Structure 1
């Protein structure tokens, strides 16, 4: 059979009689022959989802060495070698190599951990081949195959049902709808996409019942495959952090080259250096202004964020994703399994004379009487007891213990909710089933919308237990049970029951009505075969209703509140109904009320791009949306300048996850297609982990700015003494040699600077809006504090140290030394003064405007170790003969050490005073 010859789609064939559809598929109820199946397998290929092309490991490795910053470091190493400092050039290259290898390993490990797309499809399927039912691998299933299904089976192909018994299919992975769809052989278009009653789809699961289906599409031709194909077609662009690093590299390159050219010209014009000597001097200054530690610090900051997120059950596949999430302005969130628990739970029981609230602890009657577990005195509440018993008896779902000891539900979520409700009252469904053995079952179907069981009473009589929709149930009820017993049902009873159902529906709850009829032993026939649906489901007594919903995750309320405080907008995008979506969104605080605008998939399809952009100005929710529409929502928000995070767990979420700036998939309930498309996977499906990731992302960005501020201010302290040398026309000898300048950048400054990359979040970081997309890492504030504040303080202190040594040896009556031991001592003092100032400045850079005391002055162990390490390195430079010769340093006397010891505390306290003044005069949150 050539699929291209089909004149109708599966959706169109589903409307045709069975024989027409089978003829079109060139098959029969007995299935295919082995020969025909082999030919079709050759024609269509295996029934599997093909992965998108993965980039080679070599490319993944090399890309870490080809960024603008990495290229600048390669060039910096070459410049150092040309300038006669090969050791320095090699050191710069080693920094680049270590950083690149570390980045590659982090991404490779994360990719390996999430490379599991194929696990979603089942391994085997039972098909009819040559007229017999045989087991084959799912990859061998072909269009035209007839295969059998039962509860718990994952569906391997898009197919049309030709037999079905009480079948319900969980399509939440494809549609986002939390309630299973009832399936049968009679065509009904249903509501929404993938709702056809006689069509089932690959990637979904049979929740209850049995069936026989003919495969109509396999592999990449299924709806599952089409969505996966759409996902694979997306390409990820550079995130905000990578774009900022590229921009920063360009800025710093311009600054470094500009300063180098200026120093070259000044050295020639003012000092009359020879061209070659001036060129080497200028090259040294260029290398000094290249932030060699930027890439290691960025990588360390991101890696620290990744590690902290891993401890909070979030797996990040790409290091830069942590920072990208930190800049998020909008989160497009799925509902089912993401904001909610994907577990239907009964929370109200309506009886004709009383209403019970059902909580995690038990039952609440009229708001003041609580019944908890086995302590419920059900004999004192016969109406409640009867409803719970019927709910447990008229039920095919059971609770079992999983291998890890946790409860495992076998059956549909709706029936599971009824079972758990009964168990909260202390009823044991299995024991109850033994007391009242089931003798007959009338399975649920979408026409009568009821399920009925007949159970044998201890006295030999029968109890007919019925549950279903209220509207269809009322037509079969002639009596009602209230506090005074059974009495005839009247119009007022019907009105009250219907009004309660409407009220529940408006609150986003779904209801199941419960009724029964007892048959005395004397009226029980010898055989129940003659009892059909019409005979059984008549003259029923209405007992009450159970209202249920998929509850919100407990932690979601605080997480949503924190997002609002951080000026991050949350937009619910779900395949569930508008009423349920709006009520859940209002309940957890995404929107201010359940009156917020709800845009359905059909409405969205008719909207222009401009209309959609206009709609985003107000509170809104998207319901009943198709996969490509989620993609459209994310794309439109991005075109409006938003940085979008998209969360989800289903196949239908994958395209939006791939398109978003940051895709967040659920690790427990999420499909492998969603995980493959996402940038981050929540291993515990906890939405609160997203908020923690946002905080980490903001922290990473702040830490990069802190590092940048720290290294730039040391450059000022290095450059100003050289400016004195130039503008004095060489009368003031160089206070710092080129090797000493580079020692600060690659030696003493490096470890404390890396410690800034591990700084924890500052107080109030989640009380400020996300940074503007137009804001850059190298802001005016960073430049001002680095150059005009920290830098000038450092320059003043280091220059003072230089002149302090000269004063000790007779200056100004004696000319400044340009060589000899006094000059070596003076330059060493300048170097030491810069280092001691940087000890204070690294503490100052830990916060923007918050007091360092508020975050713990000794809390960052990496900075503490870094300060101690740079002190030891300084001692080695001063007192180790080999290093003295290389770096032109010497020992200092006790007077110089007293001078140095007086530097850090005043510098630190001056900055603390400035921060306090800023906090006292600003009404905005300060971090």
Structure 2
């Protein structure tokens, strides 16, 4: 809100300054520290509107259309239109201009569809917030927040509205609004009424992220009235950067445009010198230019990427940038977390070690009701911030590990009311990824104050000076105890169990609870060790096998124990028996050259007890070696590594908002298998783009060769094609099959190939040779052969007149029609040939791409309409064909496709005979 924001709630005008005293703020917002009722929130939503930034007021479509008519391929067509106009053929000039406009409109519509496809992905990741409604903490959609709501903000949350803190302390990343790289401290105790609001230490703002702490805050502004909304209003327009693929294709488009224009300029005087008149030479140049321009190339690529993004979203992988689809296909290394990605993230406590012995909770134990176990489970449950559902099917909130601790406490008759737990809490030291432990200071039932700590055993044990006795007392923690616990930890870890050490100590009444964590987490009494099991996901092992076949290495980077991580990795197929385990301390001790050497081999490594900085360092080292890295993460501190990796992969369910913002791809199901699915989809999209580039480039040869034959013969061979006929091919019969090729299923063996090199271009020499020197030449020979055969059958000899009024004019029109239909028929053969690069058509099935069959059917219907519609004959220079001439072009598709099928058979045979490198 601005300082003069005036709103109406239930017909009453309210004005609220977020920096005024809380009592006055609550009065102005008609709320309290307990939040709103559900009904009140619904009423306010109607008054204030949804908590969303205003959408841009539509695309600036004139500018977008202008961009479509000024790209290089369109500019070459403009040159052709100008030539046509000055050579006295206004009908041709008009037709070319119409093609430019239609193609620009088509490209504009395709880009609009692609943009909408990406914008629609927001529905797959609804942003939620925790608020107090009807005196209970609930989760609601962030778009339904209204002024007066009380937000509950925790570490990792994205702040969804501007708010004034009621209680608690936070560290907040304000870089979205201020550009500051370091988090800023925010506290409800800091009251400021002067200066900039962004500097006020008791306010938090929409679009920022909480990096540490927990607090409650009352919402003061939503949507366009937030600070972020104010900035958004100043920056309504935003430009979309071209992807690497689009830049690469645009460079090729400039090359094609220069070659076409240059050829036209060079061949005009050459044609005149060969005996053509200036008009005929200009007509030849126009035909050469038009035949070389693949009008639908750029919009088709954009649409193919958008289709890939949409398909991935349906399969659980939300890709936030079109260009990322291209990068996915070249992934060479995946650095994956363990918990929730390889495993189900459904923790359950299976064993508890107490000083008096081990208790197996899975198989039952007589000691399951002991006082020592109840003390341990109570301590573990108090040191949490999660909440179990009050009803059997109700919602749960919090970390799965903490939920497992609360569940075991409940099952042993030690239930803990979240409200009572929070009411008795005097201080909390949240889980620290470096310290790997959490502590709380709480008032217990007898009004004593105690410290409760849980965390990784190797970080909790150094904080302990005592251990619980069998009789309920306490004794000194000896070196023998530490040695025995070390062996126990290794034993549990080898079974794939995750461990938490539980400790506590009482504080004297005069103990000052300050900010020094070290002073609180000192002199603790170890109560025992809890072992939890998180089973691997059922489908992960198959996904690992598929990734390995695709030449992708997988490293595990986890904050868990190394032996535990290695056991889970072995179960799913990562690494070998005795795989190398590198702890966080060992990694920190490695120099950069040593780390490079470690990662340069083919071995898969387990990085255990890793800090977020370790993930960033590993990603940098791999990328420096030329690897394409996909890095998973879910925490706040994972954001730098997710941003630095080629593909940052965040968890959609268990991940924090900060991680999701930094990532390129978000897994809505938190499943490692979805990463492999995304890699396969990325490879398929990349291959499909190459398929329709091959399809489009092939047709340039049979369209150019007739004009070359006309020019080089000095006009002795009449023009086999007219420019309007070429335009009818490029705009009428070419587009639908090209679009359909973008939906091709994956070619067999797609995931058995190694990843493509990072710098490999999508348009390579092999593709151009196949398009121009093989398929294009075959198509040109068939087209010219059909044209000349029809003329010879009519008695034509080189140099005979075929113009209007000549005896051979009708036969010439039939010959050009055969040539035109021949190109259309060769397109059909090329479309089937382009469907696979190595495999035979039988391997994927003729009917596996229904869209292609529909596109080909549409092209055939369009072609026959042009041939057998009389009033179009004068415009296109065509004529109706008798049955024998129509049958002449019927085998063309099979000849083109059959020749390429034989070529691929020869390539497969040669590859089979080639000796395999050791």
TM-score using structure 1 length: 0.66
For 1:644 and 1:385, the matched residues in 2 are separated by 50
For 2:564 and 2:53, the matched residues in 1 are separated by 33
Residue 323 (structure 1) aligns with: 326
Instruction: Classify the secondary structure of the residue corresponding to 2:881.
Output: coil
For 2:864 and 2:915, the matched residues in 1 are separated by 42
Residue 673 (structure 2) aligns with: 688
Q: CA 1:342 to 1:911, structure 2 compared with 1: closer, same or farther past 3 Å?
A: same
Residue 834 (structure 1) aligns with: 823
Deviation at 1:547, TM superposition (A): 1.3
Matched, 1:887 2:898: no
For 1:65 and 1:561, the matched residues in 2 are separated by 49
Contact 1:306–1:319 (CA under 8 A) maintained in structure 2: yes
Residue 727 (structure 1) aligns with: 712
Decide which of 300, 304, 308 is 2:307's aligned counterpart.
Answer: 304
Contact 2:130–2:151 (CA under 8 A) maintained in structure 1: no
Deviation at 1:787, TM superposition (A): 1.6
Q: CA 1:82 to 1:659, structure 2 compared with 1: closer, same or farther past 3 Å?
A: farther
Residue 893 (structure 2) aligns with: 904
Residue 267 (structure 1) aligns with: 271
Residue 866 (structure 1) aligns with: 855
Contact 1:645–1:663 (CA under 8 A) maintained in structure 2: yes
Matched, 1:245 2:249: yes
Q: CA 1:64 to 1:473, structure 2 compared with 1: closer, same or farther past 3 Å?
A: farther
- The CA deviation string for residues 53-109 of structure 1, in whole angstroms up to 9 with x for no partner, is 999976899578648994422542453364243233223332223323432453356
Q: CA 1:150 to 1:859, structure 2 compared with 1: closer, same or farther past 3 Å?
A: closer
Contact 2:118–2:309 (CA under 8 A) maintained in structure 1: no
Alignment of 1:451-490 (within 5 A): 475-479=466-470
For 2:881 and 2:100, the matched residues in 1 are separated by 29
- The CA deviation string for residues 93-138 of structure 1, in whole angstroms up to 9 with x for no partner, is 322233234324533563476599997887799xxxxxxxxxxx99
Q: CA 1:707 to 1:385, structure 2 compared with 1: closer, same or farther past 3 Å?
A: farther
Q: CA 1:332 to 1:495, structure 2 compared with 1: closer, same or farther past 3 Å?
A: closer
- The CA deviation string for residues 548-574 of structure 1, in whole angstroms up to 9 with x for no partner, is 266655544443443333233445556
After superposition, the CA RMSD in angstroms is: 5.9
Residue 559 (structure 1) aligns with: 543
Contact 1:99–1:296 (CA under 8 A) maintained in structure 2: yes
Deviation at 1:844, TM superposition (A): 1.1
Matched, 1:503 2:491: yes
Residue 106 (structure 1) aligns with: 114
Residue 346 (structure 1) aligns with: 349
Matched, 1:777 2:766: no
Contact 1:752–1:842 (CA under 8 A) maintained in structure 2: yes
Instruction: Classify the secondary structure of the residue corresponding to 2:531.
Output: strand
Deviation at 1:823, TM superposition (A): 0.1
Q: CA 1:386 to 1:867, structure 2 compared with 1: closer, same or farther past 3 Å?
A: farther
Contact 2:73–2:295 (CA under 8 A) maintained in structure 1: no
Deviation at 1:760, TM superposition (A): 1.9
Deviation at 1:635, TM superposition (A): 5.2
Instruction: Classify the secondary structure of the residue corresponding to 2:318.
Output: strand
**Residues 685-694 or 555-564, more deviating:** 555-564
For 1:674 and 1:68, the matched residues in 2 are separated by 40
Q: CA 1:207 to 1:553, structure 2 compared with 1: closer, same or farther past 3 Å?
A: farther
Alignment of 1:282-681 (within 5 A): 282-333=285-336, 338-339=341-342, 344-348=347-351, 363=362, 378=364, 395-396=381-382, 400-401=388-389, 408-409=395-396, 413-420=400-407, 427=411, 429=413, 475-479=466-470, 498-504=486-492, 509-512=498-501, 545-548=529-532, 553-571=537-555, 576=559, 579=562, 583=566, 586-587=569-570, 588=572, 591-592=575-576, 593-598=578-583, 603=588, 607=591, 613-618=596-601, 621=607, 624-626=610-612, 634=619, 637-681=622-666
Contact 2:271–2:281 (CA under 8 A) maintained in structure 1: yes
For 1:712 and 1:874, the matched residues in 2 are separated by 20
Deviation at 1:828, TM superposition (A): 0.6
Contact 2:817–2:878 (CA under 8 A) maintained in structure 1: yes
Instruction: Classify the secondary structure of the residue corresponding to 1:912.
Output: helix
Residue 182 (structure 1) aligns with: none
For 1:754 and 1:121, the matched residues in 2 are separated by 41
Deviation at 1:694, TM superposition (A): 1.9
Residue 228 (structure 2) aligns with: none
For 1:60 and 1:612, the matched residues in 2 are separated by 52
Instruction: Classify the secondary structure of the residue corresponding to 2:685.
Output: helix
Gaps spanning 5+ residues in structure 2: where? 1-20, 29-51, 85-89, 134-144, 174-203, 218-237, 430-436, 447-451, 455-459, 512-524
Residue 76 (structure 1) aligns with: 77
For 2:62 and 2:536, the matched residues in 1 are separated by 42
For 2:103 and 2:323, the matched residues in 1 are separated by 19
- The CA deviation string for residues 244-263 of structure 1, in whole angstroms up to 9 with x for no partner, is 21232233224423443454
Instruction: Classify the secondary structure of the residue corresponding to 2:600.
Output: coil
For 2:534 and 2:359, the matched residues in 1 are separated by 18
Instruction: Classify the secondary structure of the residue corresponding to 1:922.
Output: helix
Contact 1:338–1:687 (CA under 8 A) maintained in structure 2: yes
Contact 1:64–1:101 (CA under 8 A) maintained in structure 2: no
Instruction: Classify the secondary structure of the residue corresponding to 1:315.
Output: strand
Contact 1:473–1:513 (CA under 8 A) maintained in structure 2: no
Q: CA 1:882 to 1:255, structure 2 compared with 1: closer, same or farther past 3 Å?
A: same
Q: CA 1:727 to 1:472, structure 2 compared with 1: closer, same or farther past 3 Å?
A: closer
Residue 750 (structure 2) aligns with: 765
For 1:657 and 1:449, the matched residues in 2 are separated by 28
For 2:503 and 2:689, the matched residues in 1 are separated by 62
For 2:153 and 2:737, the matched residues in 1 are separated by 63
Alignment of 1:791-830 (within 5 A): 791-810=776-795, 817=802, 820-830=809-819
Gaps spanning 5+ residues in structure 1: where? 1-30, 39-50, 126-136, 142-146, 172-199, 214-233, 364-370, 372-377, 457-465, 482-488, 516-528, 533-540
Decide which of 764, 771, 782 is 1:786's aligned counterpart.
Answer: 771
For 2:132 and 2:790, the matched residues in 1 are separated by 84
Q: CA 1:273 to 1:449, structure 2 compared with 1: closer, same or farther past 3 Å?
A: closer
Instruction: Classify the secondary structure of the residue corresponding to 1:546.
Output: strand
Matched, 1:706 2:691: yes
Deviation at 1:891, TM superposition (A): 0.9
Instruction: Classify the secondary structure of the residue corresponding to 1:346.
Output: strand
Deviation at 1:655, TM superposition (A): 4.0
Decide which of 879, 903, 908 is 1:914's aligned counterpart.
Answer: 903
Q: CA 1:616 to 1:863, structure 2 compared with 1: closer, same or farther past 3 Å?
A: same
Contact 1:668–1:685 (CA under 8 A) maintained in structure 2: yes
Deviation at 1:264, TM superposition (A): 2.9
Alignment of 1:731-770 (within 5 A): 731-770=716-755
Q: CA 1:445 to 1:851, structure 2 compared with 1: closer, same or farther past 3 Å?
A: same
For 2:787 and 2:282, the matched residues in 1 are separated by 25
**Residues 736-745 or 579-588, more deviating:** 579-588
- The CA deviation string for residues 881-920 of structure 1, in whole angstroms up to 9 with x for no partner, is 2221211111111111222233333433333233223223
For 1:869 and 1:450, the matched residues in 2 are separated by 70
- The CA deviation string for residues 841-864 of structure 1, in whole angstroms up to 9 with x for no partner, is 211111111111221211211110
Deviation at 1:595, TM superposition (A): 2.1
